[in-house]
C-alpha cells in the first residue's frame, strides 16, 4: 500500500483555520481569559476525530469515548503533525526537533476528552467547514492549522515545544477515540 501523500493547505483551509481558532477560543473563554493548553488540546482532539471519521473506520456500535485502533489512522495521523509543523513555520514559531520529547499528555487543568471537545465547539467548526466547502479530511487539517495559530497566540505564556507535544498527543488521542453522535 502506498504511503499517504501530504497535501499543502488550500486557501479555504487557511480561512477556515482562522475561523476555527476563534471559535475554539470563544467557546473556552472564561472571565480569566482563554486557557491556552485546553484550547490547543480541544483543537487537536477534534482534528484527530475529524480525520478518523474521514477514513471511514467502522465505528457503528462502538461506545463514544472508547478506543478504536486503525491502520489507516496510524498512516494518516502523522500528516496532521506535518500540517501543524507547516503552519508553525509559516507563522514563524520556531520549533527545534531536538527539543521535542514526544507526545505530552495534558495536565489535569487542560484535560479534555474527545466527546467534551465535540460538545464545546464541533457544530460550529462543522458549520465553518461547510461555509468553506471542506471535506472532513480537509477540516481535520484546518483544525491542525488552527492549533498552530493557537500555539502562536500562546507562545509568550507556553513553551511552543510543549504546546507542539500536547497537540501531537491530541491528534493521536483523537484518531483513536470513538466520537460521540454530534456529527459522527
What local confidence, expressed as pLDDT, does residue 103 receive? 58
**Predicted TM-score of the model (pTM):** 0.92
What local confidence, expressed as pLDDT, does residue 56 receive? 83
Q: For residue 113, which phi and psi values (nearest 5 degrees)?
A: -95, 165
Question: Is 132 within 8 Å of 7 (Cβ atoms)?
Answer: no
What local confidence, expressed as pLDDT, does residue 184 receive? 39
Tens digits of pLDDT across the chain (184 residues): 567 898 999 999 999 999 999 999 999 999 999 999 999 999 999 999 999 999 989 999 999 999 999 999 999 999 999 999 999 999 999 887 766 565 566 666 567 899 999 999 999 999 999 999 999 999 999 999 999 999 999 999 999 999 999 999 999 999 999 999 754 3
What local confidence, expressed as pLDDT, does residue 155 receive? 94
Give Rg (Cα) of the chain.
Answer: 15
Question: Is 50 within 8 Å of 126 (Cβ atoms)?
Answer: no
Amino acid at each position: 500500500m502506498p504511503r499517504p501523500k501530504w497535501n499543502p493547505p488550500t486557501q479555504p483551509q487557511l480561512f477556515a483555520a482562522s475561523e476555527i481558532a476563534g471559535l475554539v477560543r470563544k467557546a473556552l473563554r472564561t472571565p480569566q481569559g482563554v486557557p491556552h493548553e485546553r484550547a490547543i488540546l480541544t483543537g487537536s482532539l477534534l482534528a484527530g476525530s475529524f480525520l478518523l471519521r474521514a477514513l471511514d473506520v467502522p465505528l457503528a456500535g462502538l461506545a463514544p469515548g472508547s478506543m478504536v485502533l486503525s491502520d489507516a489512522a496510524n498512516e494518516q495521523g502523522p500528516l496532521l503533525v506535518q500540517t501543524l509543523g507547516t503552519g508553525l513555520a509559516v507563522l514563524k514559531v520556531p520549533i527545534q526537533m531536538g527539543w521535542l520529547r514526544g507526545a505530552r499528555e495534558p495536565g489535569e487543568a487542560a484535560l479534555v476528552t474527545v466527546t467534551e471537545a465535540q460538545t464545546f465547539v464541533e457544530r460550529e467548526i462543522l458549520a465553518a467547514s461547510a461555509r468553506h466547502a471542506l471535506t472532513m479530511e480537509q477540516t481535520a487539517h484546518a483544525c491542525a492549522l488552527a492549533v498552530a495559530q493557537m500555539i502562536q497566540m500562546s507562545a509568550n505564556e507556553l513553551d511552543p515545544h510543549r504546546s507542539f507535544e500536547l497537540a501531537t498527543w491530541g491528534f493521536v488521542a483523537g484518531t483513536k477515540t470513538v466520537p460521540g453522535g454530534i456529527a459522527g
